[in-house]
Chain A
Amino acid sequence: MSRARDYRRRSALSGWLLAGICFCAVVLSGRLHWRLDLTAAGSNSLDDATRDLLGQLQDRLQIKLYFNRDIEGAEHLLPDRLRIQDLLAEIEGAGRGRVSVETVDPTTDLVAARDAEHLGIQPITVQDQRIAGVSIEKLYQGLELRYQDRSELIPFVVPARFEFAFATRLQSLLRGGERPLLAFFSREPMLPPPVPGMDQEAPPGRVFERLREILGARYAIRDYRGLGPGEAVPEEALALVVLRPERVTAAEVEAIDAYLRGGGRVVVLYDHEEVLPQRGFEKRTLESGVDAWLAGYGVEVRREFVYDEGGKAMPVDVQLVTLPDGRTARNPIFDAYGLYPVIGTDGLNQEHVVTASLEEAEFVWAHPVVYQPRAGLDLQAEVLVRSSSRSWRLGAATKVGITLSNVKLMRTLIAQAGAPQPSDLVLALRGNFGEESAEGVLVVVGDSDLFHNLNFDTGPANVPFALNLIDWLAADEALIELRSRGDETRRLRSFYADSLERQGGRGATPAANRAIDRQAREDQLSMERRIAWVNLLLPGLLLLLAGVGHFGYHRLQDKRWQEAD
């Protein structure tokens, strides 16, 4: 009887203990926000720039997250959504009581749905492919920030870009909602006057419109087609971007120079010609009108083209292929086009905030920028981008057509040109550009086509370069670092490159190149297979050997005991 009572008592105690453990585990796991970020760059924690911005809050910041809870069919997005919520919890903590986060579901909450529609938070559609067929799910993932009487919006939160998007919106809210001014000077046609309720289409000649659109997300862009005594660059402009200068008059040069001497920051995207691909790559020569002005500061943009052996692969020819059904198909043949230099980390200044976080930049018909310090001027020069060690200069008369014959012709010219001649492509000068002038910055880029609508955001390389450059000039260095957070890719060593090096680099003829390429691919595949199989078999084999040794030892001992018996 006493044993049964004892058991009942113990069971009751254990029951209470279990309930206590459950309660503590659930409460602690929900309440504890102590976290330890083990990543090398602390990439899962808030950056100091974001913390600084949160520290500047004078009033309450309300964050409303438009998330639909039901994501059936898109469950793979759940970890990313939890990551956003995790970061928001950290933001709430860093806000020290001045940040509140609220989550609403527009699919079940009619008020939230109306608000989302009013704000412009649109659901994105996700295809759910299951056995029953394909269904389309709507997914809300937007965020609204409210501070004082202003609000900012992130229509769709992308986890990898969330912190940068949040910090820029917060910065804008703290500035009172006014976007800093950026002046653009070019000969492009101006936009027509806006008509309420109608989308504004840019005229075809506005070839840097994509650059304006992307920078316009953070800056107020003001266009200037002419400058002079009556229309000076406003002092409050963070920077002046001179886009492909053409026939710039003396009065305009004076206005630019006055802005620079007044402590302004000027970027000149320089080109000696406009290439017209639709007219068989015909070149139209541009007379910039700023050569003498640049020369006054020791800068010259040379007329030659920069040719880089590792140019971007472009379709240089077409191969006709007969398909099994008798039809013919046109297959493009790609080859490295040397006049589109792709500058990797070896050519990007790793000490400079603009280029340190970039992986590459793609230039298009670029020209060398040469600097000779001028006596009497105290300017600090920094090269931001330089062509690779396997680059040369080709004369201004070089044909720029993207054709197989031209590519071959350029290779022949390079073979005769002798030793490679790396060139500076982007140069930054900082200092006093005259007596009694404030410290200004002048950046000269020996190419404007890299920011042309056709090239600007077609690849991943040039948008971050443009944004970093403008943010640096706008003295938003902290945000540059924030933008590139989590972007650093830790690349594996390339067995393909190792094999190429072992074979002595690329060959002289296309046939030799193909053979070298085939060999390098075989070497790469063989090495990868070897690594995979060693990892697959070695631990298992070692454990198997340990097992055999263990059983062998015991069998031996058993035998000895039997013999002893």
Chain B
Amino acid sequence: MKRTLLIARREWRVAFDSPVAYLVLAALPTLTAAFFFLMGDFFARGEASMREFFALMPQLMIPIVPALTMRLWAEEQRSGTEELLLSYPFRVRQLVLGKFLGALGLLALSLAATALVPLTVAWLGPLDWGPVIGGYLATLMLGAACIAVGAWLSSLTHNQIVAWILGVALLLCANLLGAAATARAVPEALGRILLGSDLGLRFQSMARGVIDFGDLAYYLGLVAFFLCLNGLVLERRRWS
């Protein structure tokens, strides 16, 4: 665990040495506040609720998370530091988990920067904090799954832009599975699987303030699956 945290700390240091990290971190609070207060109808509805705020999250995660993860492995490959990293006395799982935790920490920091929004809403009216806690937990779980996907895609290429485009495309598809599942052309059994695999629908259930352990198991399974894929790619590269 110590070595995993060492890698996570290194990720943080590298990220904050680049202005890009600050821009990406600032993007989430700025965009959410803009959509929620300026473009949305929060004041017109006159209700102390964060429903619309969290409804934006699955869409915002699609461009933001791949931007956080695109450089995780692609940059190491491009600059040639990956070989060096793989030659260190670290296990692959420590490297993968360390990088994942580093990126998750950045996302959590970015989410923490949005805390002004619920505080403002609570100042304006009697906010029910249950759905807010559920919403943040859902965002973190969704973000973790997206980071795992993004990290795996980043390990497949040495070009950050390619990693970002692949990440956006894959997450977009994962958010449209539910809609696809309801189409007439899709067989019923496949429809059920697709419906159960939609990232956004599971998110909405949690953002209502209902923590369903099935949803948690789904997100944790997704994280484990893509981290293992990521590990396999690195393992193959280490031994080739």
Residue positions of A touching B, CB distance < 8 A: 3-4, 6-7, 10-11, 14, 17-18, 21-22, 24-26, 28-40, 44-45, 69-72, 75, 78-79, 82-83, 86, 489-494, 528, 531-532, 534-540, 542-544, 546-547, 550-551, 554
Contact = CB atoms under 8 A, between A and B. Distances in A.
Nearest to B44: A528
A512 to B, nearest CB: 26
A75 B213 CA distance: 25
B33 interface: yes
A538 B29 CA distance: 9
A36 B225 contact: no
Interface stretch (B69-77, B80-88, B116-124, B166-174): B116-124
25 contacts: A7-B236, A11-B232, A11-B236, A29-B215, A32-B217, A33-B212, A37-B130, A39-B208, A39-B210, A44-B208, A45-B210, A69-B191, A70-B182, A70-B184, A78-B201, A86-B205, A492-B125, A494-B46, A532-B38, A534-B120, A535-B117, A537-B30, A540-B26, A543-B26, A543-B113
> Which of B120, B211, B214, B235 has its CB near the most chain A CB atoms (within 10 A)?
B214
Contacts of A32: 212-214, 217
B47 A489 contact: yes
Which secondary structure dominates where chain B touches chain A?
A: helix
Contacts of A30: 196, 214
A29 B133 CA distance: 21
A501 B116 CA distance: 28
B66 interface: no
> Which of A33, A38, A491, A547 has its CB near the most chain B CB atoms (within 10 A)?
A38
Given A29-B217, A29-B221, A30-B196, A536 B239 contact: no
A79 B195 CA distance: 11
B37 A532 contact: yes
Given A70-B183, A492-B46, A78 B235 contact: no
B125 A18 contact: no
B222 to A, nearest CB: 7
A36 to B, nearest CB: 4
A532 B236 CA distance: 50
Contacts of B231: 14
Contact of A38 (B120, B183, B210): B210
Nearest to A543: B26
Interface of B: 16-17, 19, 22, 25-26, 29-30, 33-34, 36-38, 43, 46-49, 113-114, 116-117, 120, 124-131, 133-134, 178-179, 182-184, 188, 191, 193, 196, 201, 204-205, 208-215, 217-218, 220-222, 224-225, 228-229, 231-232, 235-236, 239
B30 A539 contact: yes
Contact of B22 (A24, A25, A33, A544): A544
B178 to A, nearest CB: 6
Contacts of B212: 32-35, 86
Nearest to B232: A14
Contacts of B127: 490
Contact of A72 (B182, B210, B225): B182
Contacts of A11: 232, 235-236
Given A37-B209, A535-B116, A7 B239 contact: yes
A538 B218 CA distance: 35
B135 to A, nearest CB: 10
Given A21-B228, A78-B182, A44 B209 contact: yes
A539 B124 contact: no
Given A70-B182, A490-B127, A550-B16, A36 B211 contact: yes
B225 A21 contact: yes
A45 B48 CA distance: 21
B130 A28 contact: no
Contact of A493 (B125, B191, B208, B235): B125
A25 B29 CA distance: 31
A492 B47 contact: yes
Contacts of B25: 543
A29 B224 contact: no
B228 A14 contact: yes
> Which of A32, A528, A543 has its CB near the most chain B CB atoms (within 10 A)?
A543
Contacts of B235: 7, 10-11, 14
B48 A491 contact: yes
B214 A29 contact: yes
Given A29-B196, A493-B124, A82 B130 contact: no
A18 B182 contact: no
Contact of B128 (A10, A490, A538): A490
B209 to A, nearest CB: 4
Q: 8 shortest A-B CB distances, which residue pairs? A: A25-B221, A38-B130, A532-B37, A539-B29, A28-B217, A29-B218, A535-B33, A490-B48
A36 B239 contact: no
B19 A547 contact: yes
Contacts of A37: 130, 209-211
A71 B30 CA distance: 35
Contact of B229 (A18, A82, A538, A540): A18
Given A35-B211, A37-B209, A547 B225 contact: no
B217 A531 contact: no
Given A7-B239, A535-B120, A35 B210 contact: yes
Contacts of B131: 38-39
A532 B117 CA distance: 9
Contacts of B134: 38
Contacts of A26: 193, 196, 218, 221
Given A30-B196, A72-B182, A490 B37 contact: no
A494 B41 CA distance: 15
Nearest to B212: A35
Nearest to A489: B47
Given A35-B210, A69-B182, A79 B217 contact: no
Contacts of B213: 28, 32, 34-36
A28 B113 CA distance: 33
A218 B4 CA distance: 63
